[in-house]
Structure 1
């Protein structure tokens, strides 16, 4: 999937002095706080990481609550879809005005009625909401279907 990319970053992680005996664990905890959240610095959602501590001596920052600045080099797996990218996801909900999709098991997307091809019409078949093709009667979009779609924004 072209929306997944690996990015290398040199960063400084700020650790509370009470965690100075377990720096590695403290850095793990800070990086874990980035997981599955959009981060503007990386222009994407962090899905996974691995890191190395660059400098064995950390710098103590002055202030009311002094923190320890630990320099690291991290490899980050990012989910960063861009317009006109093709994505694949599983349909989780179908309504008359939209199709709701989950991509990679965590990111949700909505395909609105205006963006659904004219070939598909909304129907209720066997008490289930579906979008059926006018041309291929077995071609339906319903809950559980895997679909490919183009990212608009």
Structure 2
């Protein structure tokens, strides 16, 4: 998928002194707090991360840079090298999503199980005709009745606009070539069919990374809900700085 990209970043993560006994876990917690939300500094949504703390000796010896944040207790800065997996959709990119709801005027889908997509009637190719039959209706191609888009269909679409204020809400289009039902395209579109085999392995590896980070995110969130934090209120955007 075009919108997925990997990046390497040097970050300074600020850790509360109460977490000094397990800095590695504290850093992971700070990074996990950024998962699945749009971050300007990364120009995308963080989906997964692998962080390595800079150290001057054994693994347990972590090099830190003392820094006092105004009005707060003296957090200490930990220098981190992070490999990031980002979702950064841009206009004219080709993405894939699963149809959740559709009607005569629009198709609504979801990408990577997280990001919402709206394809309005003006952006649905005229070759598709909406038929209100079965479970919620379906779009059927006038040129090939086997080309059907219904609830649950995986579709390939072009990006028109991205609203980062709504956490990468996407406006899409089914008018450009090589868009439509992925199942139909895999059989009838030679260009798309040739892409499938080359992208299968990478897609599987990415799915595993995202799932692992989702599990970590849920575990840390559950732990936070059961703990009474002694930490003063502080914006999470100041907890991590990119160098």
Tell me the TM-score range normalised by the shorter chain: over 0.9
- In the alignment, does 2:28 pair up with 1:57? no
Q: Decide which structure has greater strand share.
A: 1
C-alpha displacement of 1:18: 1.0
Residue of structure 1 equivalent to 2:140: 132
- Structure 1 runs of 4+ aligned residues shifted over 3 Å read none
Instruction: Mark the runs of 5 or more structure 2 residues left unpaired by the alignment.
Output: 56-61, 162-243
Residue of structure 2 equivalent to 1:27: 27
Q: Which moved more, 1:56-65 or 1:78-87?
A: 56-65
The whole-number CA distance in structure 2 between the counterparts of 1:128 and 1:109 is: 18
| Helix, strand or coil at the partner of 1:114 | helix
C-alpha displacement of 1:60: 2.3
| Helix, strand or coil at the partner of 1:141 | strand
Equivalences for residues 35-50 of structure 1 within 5 A: 35-50=35-50
Q: Decide which structure has greater helix share.
A: 2
Residue of structure 1 equivalent to 2:232: none
Q: Which moved more, 1:52-61 or 1:35-44?
A: 52-61
- Superposition CA RMSD, Å: 1.3
| Helix, strand or coil at the partner of 2:49 | strand
C-alpha displacement of 1:130: 1.1
Instruction: Mark the runs of 5 or more structure 1 residues left unpaired by the alignment.
Output: none
TM-score by length of 1: 0.94
The whole-number CA distance in structure 2 between the counterparts of 1:31 and 1:42 is: 12
TM-score by length of 2: 0.60
The whole-number CA distance in structure 2 between the counterparts of 1:126 and 1:102 is: 21
